[in-house]
Amino acid sequence: MTHDSQNQHLIVFQPSGRQGYALEGQTLLDAARELGVEIESICGGQQTCGKCKVLIEAGDFQKYGIVSQKENISPLSDGELAYWQKRRRDPGDYRLACTARVQGDLVINVPEESQARKQIVRKSATVRAVELDPAIRQYFVKVKRPDLNDNHLGDWERLKVALQETHHLQNLQIDFFALRGLQDVLQKGEYEVTVTLWNDREVVRVQPGYAEGAYGMAIDLGTTTVAGHLVDLRTGAMLATEAMMNPQTTYGEDLMSRISYCTMNADGLDKMHIAIIEALSRLVKRATRAAKLQPEDVTELVIVGNTVMIALLLQVDPTPLGRVPFPLVTNDAIDLKARDLGLEVGLGANLHILPAEAGYVGADNMGVVIAESPHIQDDIHLIVDIGTNAEILVGNKDRLLSASSPTGPAFEGGEITHGMRAAAGAIEQVRIDPQTLTPRFKVIGHDRWSDEMPDEKIQAAGICGSGMIDLVAELLVAGIIGPDGKFAHETPSPNVRISGRTREYVVATAAQTSSGREIVITQRDIRAIQLAKSALYTGAKILMDRRGVDQVERVLLAGGFGTHIDKQRAMVIGLFPDCDLDNVYPVGNSAGDGAVLCLLSRERRQRARELARWIEYVETAAQPEFQERFVEALHLPHSIDTFPHLKGLLPEPFVGDSHFW
């Protein structure tokens, strides 16, 4: 193409401000492409998809030295008129870039929906902006009909020619199942088809006619709960969210018991694998049904989960993960065909699993990193994702460390006398009157506190993790237990029972519970909480030491547990190292958010792979100082002096003795 200066016009694309010269008669789409402005186009210039809508800005743009006016663009084409008539809308200043041709200098505004790489912002505790660049893109093409004289090209070869000619796509492959159905689809679509392309190279789906719509699922495969988000890959919109229990809980509540189940039962791995695959297929079915779609419309999936959950998903024996040195089968991201796992989604769909940092810091933690991005922050962050294991991250853009601490099941209600998960009936908040030492509490499912409603309506069933933290903090503040966690002997309250070997506090009376029996917290329960919080605290402190910081500037509490706990009371018991409470944020299901971001952005996936190797994993339990620090951190809290702003809340004297049970 020769650029004859006489036939060139200055074109400025907004909002990017990119400018350059276009030839007289060139389409705006071609002009944009040459200037590196990416405009959406599915139909490839057929004037049917309307994705390439742009606005012609009229006016005297002195900044650029040009006057842009509607006369500088070719008149509305028949195809454009048909497009707008079909939608019964007035085009206004909108033009389809694929057909509007340059006739003079122009300022063009590319609205956000027409930009090929849109910035989208996801609502969340922390603002998460991402450039929309999913692995899946769609293209509409008209394919030449077969012809005895066309060199006997097959359907796939003619489709490749069409994709090359219309969309400049080259070196394409096709998934076998897309190839298998190709002839049928071409005939149904009368040789007009919509192609779904994965990673710019593999055709994974072909649909008859113009069939806009590419969908993905981001799945957070938790030990207890499985949550899936159905996402529109063209807009980033969340179309449906579904959650269910992980059916593997039948075989074991926590990671170690599932590993044991595999070790003890020859068919244990297969059973748990099949259970989760069937569950995921159900999850996809529910989510697609909610959005009036079909499971086969899902052509891309991203899954995060801890390393044991990922092993069970892949039908890989997790037994080695149960012992030193916790070897992973791979630490890198995995791409595989979802059909190879038997998942009922699109036949050509790819499943992407985020990389792992180490044997016990898996794809779920990488999801947290991608969502919270501590690697681009100046502030030193402490991020904890609390479950049976707590994943801990400490650092900022210069250096980031990770660890996993075995908090045990206490925060999830496990091994607690009346412990339960955060479900309806769970006591999730507790307050103890400092004078009367009597409790009031809030139960999941009710808006009101227990003292604001009749006893028989409360139906408390147990205490969940956040309730336990509230309880221990309140017991401490009320002086019912000491900083060593032990029940104080002289406590004038009928709720405190100390006699013989019994040491317990009554939280809910028999009348307030669904079982008709009291709900109590025992000395043993308090100790379990102390052990759990100490594991977390010690892990965080060791990482801080390694990172060379005394204090963190922000604490992010990830996961459902992090969302529900009272951060003030969590700090009272010393769940995490001290930090200005204003800089402690519950951030919700960060792992799942990270999965969604990776579904929308190939750059994030690549970033995750790099970060997984960059983040320094520390085997905290293997550090020589671990044991000593762990014992120290069992105290509630280990030193009151670090919480001056809490002093008013706390009773005196408040110095822990070093004699522990």
Q: Which of 117, 106, 119, 83 is nearest to 28 (CA)?
A: 106
* 517 part of the interface to a copy of itself, by CB under 8 A: no
CB of 170 to a copy of itself, least distance (A): 15
Sequence-distant (≥ 6) Cβ neighbours of residue 353 within 8 angstroms: 302, 303, 304, 310, 313, 314, 333, 334, 335, 336, 363
* 328 part of the interface to a copy of itself, by CB under 8 A: yes
Give the integer Cα–Cα distance in Å for 222 and 244. Answer: 10
Query: Considering only 127-135, 323-331, 508-516, 568-576, which stretch makes contact with a copy of itself by CB under 8 A?
Result: 323-331
138-176 burial string, b = 16+ CB within 10 Å, else e? Answer: bbbbbbeeeeeeeeeeebbebbbebbeebbebeebebbe
Query: Considering only 27-35, 144-152, 521-529, 637-645, which stretch makes contact with a copy of itself by CB under 8 A?
Result: 144-152
Q: Are 50 and 98 in contact (CB under 8 A)?
A: no
* 334 part of the interface to a copy of itself, by CB under 8 A: yes
Which residues in 595-614 contact a copy of itself (CB under 8 A)?
613
Q: Which of 659, 279, 239, 242 is nearest to 482 (CA)?
A: 659
User: Which one, 185 or 475, has the nearer CB to a copy of itself?
Assistant: 185
Give the integer Cα–Cα distance in Å for 193 and 195. Answer: 6
Query: Considering only 113-121, 310-318, 368-376, 447-455, which stretch makes contact with a copy of itself by CB under 8 A?
Result: 310-318
* 511 part of the interface to a copy of itself, by CB under 8 A: no
CB of 622 to a copy of itself, least distance (A): 7
Say if residue 443 is exposed, middle or buried (CB neighbours under 10 Å; 0-12, 13-18, 19+): buried
Q: Considering only residues 104, 247, 252, 320, which one is a binding residue for a copy of itself as defined by CB under 8 A?
A: 320
Which residues in 187-246 contact a copy of itself (CB under 8 A)?
187
Q: Which of 620, 169, 166, 120 is nearest to 402 (CA)?
A: 620
User: Which one, 237 or 324, has the nearer CB to a copy of itself?
Assistant: 324
Q: Which two tokens stand for residue 45?
A: 């210039």
Query: Considering only 150-158, 220-228, 230-238, 462-470, which stretch makes contact with a copy of itself by CB under 8 A?
Result: 150-158
Q: Measured at the alpha carbon of residue 169, what is the angle toward residues 293 and 216, in degrees to the nearest 5?
A: 25
CB of 356 to a copy of itself, least distance (A): 8
User: Which one, 340 or 652, has the nearer CB to a copy of itself?
Assistant: 340
* 342 part of the interface to a copy of itself, by CB under 8 A: no
Q: Considering only residues 5, 6, 151, 435, which one is a binding residue for a copy of itself as defined by CB under 8 A?
A: 151
Q: Considering only residues 3, 180, 201, 645, which one is a binding residue for a copy of itself as defined by CB under 8 A?
A: 180
CB of 357 to a copy of itself, least distance (A): 7
* 315 part of the interface to a copy of itself, by CB under 8 A: yes
Query: Considering only 41-49, 180-188, 362-370, 429-437, which stretch makes contact with a copy of itself by CB under 8 A?
Result: 180-188
Q: Measured at the alpha carbon of residue 220, what is the angle toward residues 218 and 223, in degrees to the nearest 5?
A: 160
User: Which one, 262 or 481, has the nearer CB to a copy of itself?
Assistant: 262
* 510 part of the interface to a copy of itself, by CB under 8 A: no
Give the integer Cα–Cα distance in Å for 563 and 477. Answer: 23
Which residues in 246-285 contact a copy of itself (CB under 8 A)?
none
* 356 part of the interface to a copy of itself, by CB under 8 A: yes
User: Which one, 278 or 317, has the nearer CB to a copy of itself?
Assistant: 317
User: Which one, 357 or 578, has the nearer CB to a copy of itself?
Assistant: 357
CA distances for 611 relative to 328, 331, 332, 351, 437, angstroms: 17, 12, 11, 20, 49
Q: Are 389 and 406 in contact (CB under 8 A)?
A: yes
* 532 part of the interface to a copy of itself, by CB under 8 A: no
* 177 part of the interface to a copy of itself, by CB under 8 A: yes
Q: Which of 385, 496, 474, 488 is nearest to 427 (CA)?
A: 474
* 324 part of the interface to a copy of itself, by CB under 8 A: yes
* 148 part of the interface to a copy of itself, by CB under 8 A: yes
* 156 part of the interface to a copy of itself, by CB under 8 A: yes
Bridge-based pairing of strands 400-405 and 616-617 is parallel
Q: Considering only residues 246, 331, 405, 620, which one is a binding residue for a copy of itself as defined by CB under 8 A?
A: 331
Lay out the site mask for a copy of itself across 622-661 (x = CB under 8 A, - = otherwise). Answer: x---------------------------------------
- Structural Rg of the chain based on CA atoms: 30
User: Which one, 403 or 427, has the nearer CB to a copy of itself?
Assistant: 403
Say if residue 513 is exposed, middle or buried (CB neighbours under 10 Å; 0-12, 13-18, 19+): buried
Query: Considering only 74-82, 336-344, 458-466, 481-489, which stretch makes contact with a copy of itself by CB under 8 A?
Result: 336-344
Q: Considering only residues 35, 116, 132, 179, which one is a binding residue for a copy of itself as defined by CB under 8 A?
A: 179
Q: Considering only residues 24, 60, 157, 433, which one is a binding residue for a copy of itself as defined by CB under 8 A?
A: 157
Q: Are 59 and 14 in contact (CB under 8 A)?
A: no
Q: Measured at the alpha carbon of residue 103, what is the angle toward residues 102 and 108, in degrees to the nearest 5?
A: 50
- SS3 state of residue 302: strand
Query: Considering only 51-59, 172-180, 554-562, 593-601, which stretch makes contact with a copy of itself by CB under 8 A?
Result: 172-180
Lay out the site mask for a copy of itself across 358-377 (x = CB under 8 A, - = otherwise). Answer: xx------------------
Q: How far apart are the first and last CA of the chain?
A: 85
CB of 619 to a copy of itself, least distance (A): 6
Q: Are 357 and 366 in contact (CB under 8 A)?
A: yes
Give the integer Cα–Cα distance in Å for 556 and 548. Answer: 19
Q: Which of 300, 327, 324, 302 is nearest to 313 (CA)?
A: 302
Q: Considering only residues 251, 411, 487, 617, which one is a binding residue for a copy of itself as defined by CB under 8 A?
A: 617
Say if residue 490 is exposed, middle or buried (CB neighbours under 10 Å; 0-12, 13-18, 19+): exposed
The residue ranges of DSSP E strands in 315-438, in sequence order, are 334-337, 350-353, 381-386, 390-395, 400-405, 426-432
Q: Considering only residues 35, 58, 116, 153, which one is a binding residue for a copy of itself as defined by CB under 8 A?
A: 153
CB of 317 to a copy of itself, least distance (A): 7
What are the φ/ψ torsions at residue 309 (nearest 5 degrees)? -65, -40
Q: Are 194 and 277 in contact (CB under 8 A)?
A: no
* 114 part of the interface to a copy of itself, by CB under 8 A: no
Chain residues binding a copy of itself by CB under 8 A are 146-148, 151-157, 176-177, 179-180, 182-184, 187, 314-317, 320, 324-332, 334, 336-337, 340, 356-359, 613, 617, 619, 622
